[in-house]
Amino acid sequence: MTNPNQYFLLADHIKLSLLERQRAISLNLEPTSQDGHISRSLENLRDGLENIARERIRLQDAGEIDASAGLQESEILLQKQYDDLASQFRGHPTSSASATISHPNDPALSDDFAHASDRPRNASSSSFLKKSLRGSTAGGPVVPSPKSVRFSDSPLVQEEEDARAALFPYRDDPSGPPDQSNLDNQQIHAYHSQVMAEQDEALDRLGESIGRQRELSIQIGDELDEHVQMLDEADRHVDRHQSRLDKARKNLGTVARKAKDNMQMTIIVILIIILVLLIIILK
C-alpha cells in the first residue's frame, strides 16, 4: 500500500533544498549545483502523487471508502505543495509558495527550517570579498586592477556599489573608478583579512547546509529501506499462503479419488448381494 508519509518527508526535503538555494543566492554563490537534485526530487514527488491517485481509485473500487477518503486528503495537500514548490523552483514564487516552503510537514524539522530560513546580512560584501580573493590568489604576481576600492565613512554603501558593478553589465559611460591612491599596505591587508573571514563564514554555513541535507537524505533512505523490508515480508506471507492453498487442493483431490474408489467398491458389493439373493430365491 502507498504510504503518503514518505512523500510528505520528500516534500520537506525539497523545501529545505529550496531554502538552501535561496541562501546560496543571497550569498551570491552559484545555486545551480542543487538544481538537478531538486528537479529529480520534484519528479519523484510527482510520481508519488500518481501512485497515491491510483491507490485511491483502487480502494474506492474495492469499497474501502474511509481509506480512500484519507488518501484523497493527503493527495490534495501534496498536490498543492507540489504546485507551490514547482513554481518556486521555476522562478515564479507566490505568497502561497513562500508560506509552503517555510513550514515543514514534520514538526521535528522546525529547527532545520528556521536555520535554513536565516539570511546573512552582508551578502553583497561577501560577493565582493570572494571576487577580491579569487583575483589575488589565482597564482603568479599580483597585477594591479583597473578597478579600485575606496574606504569611506559608510563602507556598506561602497560595498553595495561594488557588488552592483560586478553584477550588472558594462556600460559605455561608467561613473569612473574610485581613487585608490590613499590606501596603504596595512589597510589593504586588513581589508583582505575581512574578506577571508567573511568567506570562511559563508563556507561554514554552506557546509552546515550540506550536512543537514545529507542527514535528511539518510532519513529518507532509511524509510525507503523499511518499506522495502515490509514489501519483502508481505511477499513471504503471500508465498506461504499460496503453498498452503496448493497443499489443501492436493488433499482435496486425494479425498475425492478415494471417495470415488469406495463408491465403486460399494456398488460391486451390493450387486453381489443381489445376485446371491436371486440365486437363493430361484432355487
- Cβ atoms of 78 and 4 within 8 Å: the answer is yes
The overall average pLDDT reported for the chain is: 74
Residues 105 and 26 in one domain: yes
pLDDT of amino acid 132: 43
Range of the domain at 256: 120-138+150-170+181-283
What is the predicted pLDDT for the residue at 160?
Answer: 52
Is residue 227 located within the same domain as residue 194? yes
Same domain, 28 and 126: no
Q: Which residue has the cell 502523487?
A: 49
Instruction: Confirm whether 260 is domain-assigned.
Output: yes
In a domain, 82, yes or no: yes
The pLDDT of residue 158 is 56
Residues in contact with 137: Cβ distance below 8 Å, sequence separation at least 6, in sequence order = none
Confidence of residue 272 (pLDDT cuts 50, 70, 90): very high
Q: Which residue has the cell 550536512?
A: 211
Q: Do 94 and 130 belong together in one domain?
A: no
Looking at the domain assignment, is residue 175 inside a domain?
no
Same domain, 201 and 261: yes
In the block, residue with C-alpha cell 545551480:
32
Here the cell at position 234 is 508481505
Taking the C-alpha atoms of residue 193 and residue 155, their distance in angstroms, rounded to an integer, is 15
Per-residue CA distances from 251 to 235, 240, 260, 263, 274 (Å): 25, 17, 14, 18, 35
- For residues 79 and 33, membership in a common domain is answered with yes
Instruction: Please give the share of the chain, as a percent, with pLDDT higher than 90.
Output: 5
CB 5 within 8 A of CB 102: no
**Does 256 reside within a domain?**
yes
In a domain, 187, yes or no: yes
Task: Give the largest Cα separation in the chain, rounded.
Answer: 151
Q: Within this chain, do residues 89 and 124 fall inside the same structural domain, yes or no? A: no
DSSP string, 235-254: HHHHHHHHHHHHHHHHHHHH
Q: Are residues 92 and 154 in the same domain?
A: no
Q: Are 210 and 251 found together in one domain?
A: yes
23-48 tens-digit pLDDT: 777 776 665 566 778 888 888 888 88
Q: Tell me: pLDDT of 76 over 80.
A: yes
64 contacts 10 by C-beta, under 8 angstroms: no
Q: Is residue 161 part of a domain?
A: yes
In a domain, residue 144? The reply is: no
> Is the pLDDT score of 95 beyond 50?
yes
Sole residue written with cell 537534485? 37
Q: Is residue 145 assigned to a domain?
A: no
SS3 state at 177? coil
Overall number of domains in the chain: 2
| Planar angle of CA 91, 80, 46, nearest 5 degrees | 80
Residues in CB range of 27: below 8 A, 6 or more apart:
120, 123, 126, 127, 202, 205, 206
Q: Please say if the pLDDT value at position 19 is more than 50.
A: yes
Helix (H) or strand (E) holding 273: helix 185-282
What was the pLDDT predicted at 140? 43
My answer on whether 192 and 85 are in the same domain is: no
Look at residues 3, 2, 8 and name the one whose alpha carbon lies nearest to residue 55: 2
Q: What is the C-alpha to C-alpha distance for residues 58 and 191, in angstroms, rounded to an integer? A: 66
The helix/strand/coil state of 179 is coil
Query: 258 and 223, same structural domain?
Result: yes
Same domain, 109 and 125: no
Query: Cβ(125)–Cβ(159) under 8 Å?
Result: yes
Model confidence pLDDT, tens digit, residues 176-222: 444 444 555 666 667 667 878 888 888 888 888 898 888 898 989 88
- In the predicted model, is pLDDT for residue 104 greater than 50? yes
pLDDT at 228 over 50: yes
Q: CB-based burial of residue 141 (10 Å sphere; 0-12 exposed, 13-18 middle, 19+ buried)?
A: exposed
